[in-house]
Amino acid sequence: MPRLASDLPVWRVGMTSAPVRNLAGSVAIVTGASRGMGRAAAIALAEQGVKVLATARDGDLLETLSQTRGITPFALSLSRPGACAEISEAAHALGPATILVHAAGRGGYLDKPIFDQGLDDWRETMAVNLDSGFELSQLVARNIREAGWGRIVLLASTAGEVGAPSMAPYCASKHGVIGLMRSVAQDIAPFGGTCNAVLPSWVRTDMAERDAEFEAERRGMNVEEVWAERNAANPAGRIVSVQEITDVISFLVAPASSGINGQAITVSLGSYW
């Protein structure tokens, strides 16, 4: 049962918000940084003077980010045991990380109907999409508690609010991300921190492209026909762009977003998926 303000220690009741601050000099961890939304978020933060530890599995593609001042590439797979501890150690070299943008994810295109879904696939999806979000949020939350300021942004999906056939692991993991976010938001609020989730609908990233290829093969279509359907299903007649997602992430990290906490923010141009 949620605690009332009267149940909290006196020092936590009626605390004022942390002062507005410049992001320059802060340390951020950005996962899924080799492509798409994670990559764009890492660059956007670095351009504001943030020291960014950028992580992803694709070391070659990730290494190209080293050309951007302020970004330190760190290649590893989040599904590997101990990966988050390695990220913690690498981030410590830059300073206490008080910003997390968790954009890494395992896509639903690998899912199957529940009758045929393998347990190994389920576990890997949870490890990448949910378990790593918990571990990294815990790491950054501890730093936020010490610093008195911080931001956590978790990339969920519209699949975190609706179900879809043959996508039990992906949908369950994204529902879990939203629940994780709402709880973390409560824990770090007294220390000047916020935690929010961004829920994109279709965005034409590499992961979504693989999903489109799978669907095209299954339905005897070409990939562009699949994307045309997805565009047409949206009230705006198009899908969301990577830049539109990045703009929301950037705002949620910015000092000006201090009043937004514990929110699942859908960025979908009005569509449900």
Backbone conformation region of residue 116, classed left if phi is above 0, alpha if psi is from -120 to 50, else beta: alpha
Whole-angstrom Cα Rg for the chain: 19
User: How far is it, in rounded angstroms, from Cα 181 to Cα 197?
Assistant: 6
User: Please, are residues 138 and 195 in contact by the beta-carbon 8 Å criterion?
Assistant: no
User: How far is it, in rounded angstroms, from Cα 37 to Cα 90?
Assistant: 22
Q: Look up 170 and say whether it is catalytic.
A: yes
User: How far is it, in rounded angstroms, from Cα 48 to Cα 224?
Assistant: 36
Catalytic residue among 149, 170, 191, 202: 170
User: How far is it, in rounded angstroms, from Cα 263 to Cα 265?
Assistant: 6
* Active-site residue list: 170
